[in-house]
Homo-oligomer: A and B are copies of this chain.
């Protein structure tokens, strides 16, 4: 009964809050996370329901549902990414993406080393901050472009393509980071080379299967004309890739993403792709996404803002400035004017979704130690979530001021 009650409460709160956010041009994930954060914050005033609400973050069934959320969110992210079709002006977009990743990544790692106390997890945690800072939230960027009527413009398309490349970098970094996490310590040069080799092997194997084997199987399936066969084939491939990832010491989540990535409209046909996307969207945007983000909100602790205000403020500012500068300068270098470069840089600033998935994986793997005596390490998860929310809200505000 507790689990049913928890699911209906979380899903309802997350959906209502998420749809309210969409009305003010913010991604629904912002509202869904806030729903979880508010719920856990008001638990002490909930009288007889206090134990119920305070037990939510540790509910095993919810944790499994959140894992399903990670799986389908990454599968969906892969499916939505139509590399061969939507990649627009790949050279420029790639340059923007690299600029928008390298600067935040480096700044995040430096910030980690400056603020985290010395310890066995310090390097991995600093890397996590860097990775978290470097992944743009595509959905939020798209919402900003939509608000300013730029979604179909040249600038808008370069921005979205750069954000897509961002996701791929992010997943690559997650693969690397997860091999850190599994091994539990900082590797030497030799061990690091082996890890890198495993990551390359994973992407090479799944890439070759995706380009050469998967289209043939899905063509065979397509002949049978049954959506449920196609859907279960996709999930089986994603699970298989996830298993391969785990065999190589990476996290299974990267497998789900790679399986989705090669479900391309041009290969499997327009109609099967459309129905697959409809189904995945209903499942992720309708149920698993809201539950996952609300569950993430439950894990966050807003008192972190009071305990390490300086670090969080710096994190937000550094995240914003490095993304705007990195993406914006790269855009300027490839020939964009000042206004378009600013739009591209600021448009890349929102963080969320894939980045939230990455830090939730780090949390589940024990990389973020909630019992640490070091206040920054102790509150790292909450700090990164506040950073993501702040940047997602900040970017459209700054852009509005700038463009008026």
By a beta-carbon cutoff of 8 Å, the part of chain A in contact with chain B is 1, 4-5, 7-8, 11-12, 15, 19, 60-61, 64-65, 67, 227-232, 235-236, 239-240, 242-243, 246-247, 252, 275, 278-279, 281-283, 285-287, 290
Residues of chain B with a CB closer than 8 A to A228's CB: 281-282, 285-286
- A69 to B153, alpha carbons, bound, how many Å? 44
- A378 to B299, alpha carbons, bound, how many Å? 42
Residues of chain B with a CB closer than 8 A to A290's CB: 232
Q: Please pick, from B8, B60, B285, the residue contacting A239 in the complex, using a CB distance under 8 A.
A: B8
Residues of chain B with a CB closer than 8 A to A4's CB: 239, 242-243, 246, 252
A72 nearest CB across to chain B (Å): 10
- A242 to B3, alpha carbons, bound, how many Å? 11
- A8 to B237, alpha carbons, bound, how many Å? 8
A205 nearest CB across to chain B (Å): 15
Q: Judging by beta carbons under 8 Å apart, are A281 and B227 in contact?
A: yes
Kindly name the residue among A227, A232, A283 whose own CB sees the greatest number of chain B CB atoms within 10 A: A232
Q: Judging by beta carbons under 8 Å apart, are B286 and A229 in contact?
A: yes
Q: Please pick, from B1, B8, B230, the residue contacting A236 in the complex, using a CB distance under 8 A.
A: B8
Q: Judging by beta carbons under 8 Å apart, are A11 and B232 in contact?
A: yes
Q: Judging by beta carbons under 8 Å apart, are A236 and B60 in contact?
A: no
- Given A12-B236, A64-B64, A236-B11, A282-B243 contact (CB < 8 Å): no
A282 nearest CB across to chain B (Å): 4
- A8 to B242, alpha carbons, bound, how many Å? 9
Q: Please pick, from B235, B240, B286, the residue contacting A286 in the complex, using a CB distance under 8 A.
A: B235
**Which partner residue on chain B sits nearest A240 by CB separation?**
B8
